[in-house]
Structure 1
Amino acid sequence: MKIQQVLKTFLAWALIAVLAPAQAQAGNADQTPEQYIAKWKDVAVRKMKEHGIPASITLAQGLLESRSGNSILATQGNNHFGIKCTPDWTGGKVFHDDDKKNDCFRKYRSADQSFEDHSKFLMRSRYARLFELKPTDYKGWAHGLKQCGYATDPRYPHKLIDIIERYKLDNLDRGVDVSYASKGAAPAKTAHKPSKHAGGRSDDNVVTIGNARPVELFDGRIKFVRARKGETVKDIADEIQQMPGLVANWNDIAKDGHLEEGQVVYIQPKRNKSKQQESCIAQQGETLWGISQRYGVKLKRLAKYNDMGIADPIVAGQKVWLRKPRR
């Protein structure tokens, strides 16, 4: 009798041992694209404001490269963008078969760190021309990433565009939220909490101004807004609680002038030189002031670098120095 009882107990525990892993696996279903977006969209938008990379592009790349966060690289190395080790990489490593057997990929302490490294990776000089595109030009960014060598797959741009349009991620680039009827998606937890200061500024490089106007960053460091239809310099100056003359000076324009819809208006001083590149090629009809606005470099500095007056004409194809040339 005792032997039968022992056998029953043994068989019961053996059955539990066999079924438990299967039940755990069944309960650990893959994360859906909708859940991935809900979890990481706020982080992508924050990175857009900090570095100027469209949130739609960041999320589309994350969805594609990490299979919605379910890939081996994402689950074992918190690597959501398939970024490989480089000679200067000193962080963790995870090895996975890719172009080569046991290719070395970057390993992160958290997925949030992967998003930050992705932004910094795209701010390298080889991707500099992408930042000349409008933040809402996700198609230009998608094709530009392929042209700059981010991926070898000839269909890569089309895959990104398809993801963006399928889930309407381009709304995020325009400051419009996206949401889906998806259960189990929780916002990503991050350790970053901005502390507010006078003037609406915060430590995370986001300025809060009236009417929920989105504030963008050029080159990851210069804050600007886009003018609305019929606005003046004074309108924007009033919103950010600055003197119109100061805002006009930052943008090298008249303080009583009207602005064109969509015109870039810097809400802090432009820089003395370009951070990303030494020079650019002037486009048809472009002025030195237009280049000053396009690259966030002070107009007087550009004139000095190029030995010309601030109102001197330039021609299409002309090389314009964005920092002091090396003689």
Structure 2
Amino acid sequence: METTNTVQSSPAWGTLLGKIGFNPAGILCVFLLMALPFIPPFNQEYLLRWLIYAAFIATLSVGFDFTSGYINIVNFGYAAVAGYGGYTSALLAVNLNISPWIGIFIGGANAAVLGLIIGMISLRLRGIFAACLSWFFGLALMGLATKLVWLTRGPLGLRTPRMFETESNIPFYYLIIVLLILTYVICKMVVNSKMGLAFKAIGQNMDAARTSGINPVFYRVFNFTLSCALAGILGGFYGHYYGILTPEVMHTTKTVEVLAVAYIGGRGSLWGGAVVAFPFIFLMEIIRSTLSHLPGLNLVIYALMLILVMIYYPGGFSHFFDVHIRQSKNKILRILTGNA
């Protein structure tokens, strides 16, 4: 009995970590990510670029899952909103000489306003109608970025100043890891609050939630706006890391990439997509580099992976992990208490 109580009790710091969505395994993953650039072969610059892109997609998947996993709205214009935030920051830097460190947050605020407008228009609808409307907004944004050549340089690309004046990728890697952690913590704290309970109620049964006194439009719009704000900040990072922005960054295929990672990782987990993104993006980059004569193959793989997950393990990686960890804990407890 004493052993059982010792295992089940948790210190104050453990409770605090739980509130922001971390456990010992999560802390271990963070330390591993921090050490990764110094572990061969990941210390090579081209692999560091892959790691940065993987972390970028991982962070976007957290914000995407915050909406799709909790209020059950798929924002097909998510990449376009991120690109909108990126263009905002880039134009401020190019035309007004505003530091990228300030510009990315202005871009996030601008994306939040856009998300608020899109949300107030589209989130009064349900299911596929809301998803399609957000997609149409995304297509419109990409069209504007393509046609307003005098402002965005269109397909030629808008050159932007980088956040660090160095050829090394390491500073950018640690910056995106910090953004990943902060995005996860912000979303997790909201989900663990009373507002998160409202999100879950709306996602499961909106009519029942409304009957319980919850205003679905308010909570859905708030969720959507916060998700877009995070996407806008990440779009700014993207532009100031690669040093160039083209309308391609706003394409629906980028949203599909984020969607695939979030769904394979497990909807409603937040952390599942963040974990899955690293091996998944590495696999996609290897395929792109070795099979460059087969364009679009990555989209076929996304589709096949999503089909397999939906058929055989709808809960995704996070559910698979939780089930097996729970089984392992129970087995360890039985051994410790002599009930094996």
Instruction: Report the TM-score when normalising by structure 2.
Output: 0.29
Structure with greater proportional strand content: 1
Structure with greater proportional helix content: 2
Structure possessing the higher relative contact order (Cα contacts under 8 Å, 6 or more residues apart): 2
Larger Rg, first or second structure (1 or 2): 1
